[in-house]
Amino acid sequence: MSLRAIISIISDLVITSQRQRYKQLHRAVVSLCLLIIGNVSIADTLRVGVPTPGQIPFFWLDEAGQYQGIYPDTLRLIAKDLGLTLSFEPLSQARLRRHFEIGEIDIEMGVSANVDDRRELKKVSLFTRPFSVVNEVIIYRPELSFPVFILKDLAGQRVATVRGNTVPDNLIREDFTNEWQIAQRVHRGWNNIGLMKEAVALYYQREENLDYETSLPYASNPVSFRINTRIKDKLPDMNSSINRLDEQGILEQLVCKYLCGPTINTQ
């Protein structure tokens, strides 16, 4: 074989090897770009932990698999205002808190900034300015003749309450699983008095046509969005958005959408 033929064969091998390396490099670059794009997309999506089961009218999963309620609707308004993407993730309350602590959840909805959390959770928690107030009220049978305004008026009375909720020692508590049970029992006359959240009491009155009276609030708790310190740079913008929505009256209208009837499109 001539020297020219040998050189030609070697050149072909080098060119083939270079083409293969180029193809491999091209595939690697494409894969890296897709990975980066995917990670950026994930990073831009805020993961919202939602406790299960839901609590109407604050948050619940509808038949279409979408979260509805005062809390998710408020957060969607903020996200739309700031150009954020949300991913709602249902979790038990215990798992939600654990995932929040390790940075796998970015936002928890409707939390009091004064809540007594464990140290690990406090270290990674920041709170927006309050966006709503949760009032606690007394519901009672319409025929009751004594005034029902504050808890001390109920001393010695049997009171229906949600199991685990704090109740003054001078009341005779009767525990139930949830507020829907309490509302039904007072409506049917099986209990004369119950303790529950005002928004829930009003919602059941309107949607289920339940018959009971509602007291003025005996306690009020401002609620905020708990955000993970991982996204602390978004806190000022979220607060500004809440301020704008509040000043424009949109937050009040949103609450009325669930408690008074539809008034605006908040989507």
Please identify which residue in the block is written with the tokens 């909720």. Answer: 165
What confidence tens digit (pLDDT) does each residue in 29-56 have? 445 554 444 443 445 799 999 999 889 9
Note whether residue 265 is domain-resident.
no
Q: Are residues 98 and 111 in the same domain?
A: yes
Distance separating the N- and C-terminal Cα atoms of the chain: 79
| Burial class of residue 27 (count of CB atoms within 10 Å of its CB; 0-12, 13-18, 19+) | exposed
Instruction: Reply yes or no on whether the pLDDT at 28 is more than 80.
Output: no
pLDDT at position 263, please? Answer: 44
- Residue 19 sits in the same domain as residue 31: yes
| 104 and 231 in a common domain | yes
> Residue 106: pLDDT band by 50, 70, 90 thresholds?
very high
Residues 3-14, mean pLDDT to the nearest whole number:
57
- Domain residue limits at 210: 135-220
Instruction: Please check whether residues 147 and 123 belong to one and the same domain.
Output: no
pLDDT digits (tens, 9 = 90+) for 74-90: 999 999 999 999 999 99
- pLDDT averaged over the chain? 84
**Number of domains within the chain:** 3
pLDDT band of residue 116 (cuts 50, 70, 90) is: confident
Are residue 120 and residue 70 in the same domain, yes or no? yes
Encode burial over 50-63: b for 16+ CB neighbours within 10 A, e otherwise: bbeebbbbbbbbee
